Amino acid sequence: MSLENNIKELKQHIPEHVNLIAVSKTKSTDDILEVYRTGQRVFGENKVQELVTKHETLPKDIDWHMIGHLQTNKIKYIAPFISLIHSVDSLKLLKNIDKEALRNNRIIDCLLQFHIATESTKFGLDLEEANQLLASEAYKNLNNVRIIGLMGMSTFTDNMDQVRQEFKFLKKCFLEIKNKYFYNRNEFCEISMGMTNDYQVAIEEGSTMVRIGTLIFGERTYH
Ligand SMILES: *Cc1c(COP(=O)(O)O)cnc(C)c1O
């Protein structure tokens, strides 16, 4: 199977209203270009250095999404061009994104990452922490970031009932937060959930963005 066939096949299973983020971490620019030529324009990466190099090398009409854990001191490298940061998990990070966005005369779109899995290794806020962040004066003073939704990663398991419950929980959090803080604002509309192994369940549970790597590019090999 070619990458072109992989993505065409995958797109048949993804409804119009769901945005496909092609997760290209560890993959070569040639592989990314092959997928780009099918019309795909949104790519996701989880490491700042790799993201910067690929942004410099590849066509400028690609929308780059940061999907991995982001360190405060590295925001400045992606702030000039990043389209969406999926992985905001603290007020401190959000404040620093705001600062770098201002420096670049931009407004940067962000998602709040929620911890919905049972594994403690995964990053993210719980509902109480998200409430604290959104209710804070400090957040209200940020003019160069825009929170447009939530992101979550399910537990790595074959138990799809468990995965479904986790996605249901994220949807519930999304609605609660929308009602409390964004009730009159249409921009808060994204739920980023679903990867290669669980994107179909995620779509059934209300995902608006699926982040898919392996199914498009094949298995990753780490060196
Ligand atoms: C790697 C990664 C993905 C894609 O994973 P696949 O299983 O290859 O589809 C999605 N989201 C995040 C945050 C990732 O790090």
Q: What is the pLDDT of residues 75-88, one digit of tens each?
A: 999 999 999 999 99
Residue owning the nearest CA to atom 12 of ligand 1: 67
* 20 CA → ligand 1 middle, Å: 12
Tell me the per-residue pLDDT of 159-215, one tens digit each, with 9 for 90 and over. 999 999 999 999 999 999 999 999 989 999 999 999 999 999 999 999 999 999 999
Predicted local distance difference test score (pLDDT) of residue 123: 86
Q: Which atom of ligand 1 is nearest to the CA of 25?
A: 1
Ligand 1 site, residue 152, Cβ cutoff 6 A: no
pLDDT at 223 over 70: no
Q: What is the mean pLDDT of residues 147-163?
A: 97
Predicted local distance difference test score (pLDDT) of residue 184: 87
* 6 CA → ligand 1 middle, Å: 16
* 135 CA → ligand 1 middle, Å: 30
State the average pLDDT for the chain: 97
Predicted local distance difference test score (pLDDT) of residue 222: 73
* 199 CA → ligand 1 middle, Å: 11
Ligand 1 site, residue 46, Cβ cutoff 6 A: yes
* 210 CA → ligand 1 middle, Å: 9
What secondary structure, in 3-state letters, does the chain show? Answer: CCHHHHHHHHHCCCCCCCEEEEECCCCCHHHHHHHHCCCCCEEEECCHHHHHHHHHHCCCCCEEEECCCCCHHHHHHHCCCCCEEEEECCHHHHHHHHHHHHHCCCCEEEEEEECCCCCCCCCCECHHHHHHHHHCHHHHCCCCEEEEEEEECCCCCCCHHHHHHHHHHHHHHHHHHHHHHCCCCCCCCEEECCCCCCHHHHHHCCCCEEEECHHHHCCCCCC
Ligand 1 site, residue 150, Cβ cutoff 6 A: no
Tell me the per-residue pLDDT of 31-72, one tens digit each, with 9 for 90 and over. 999 999 999 999 999 999 999 999 999 999 999 999 999 999
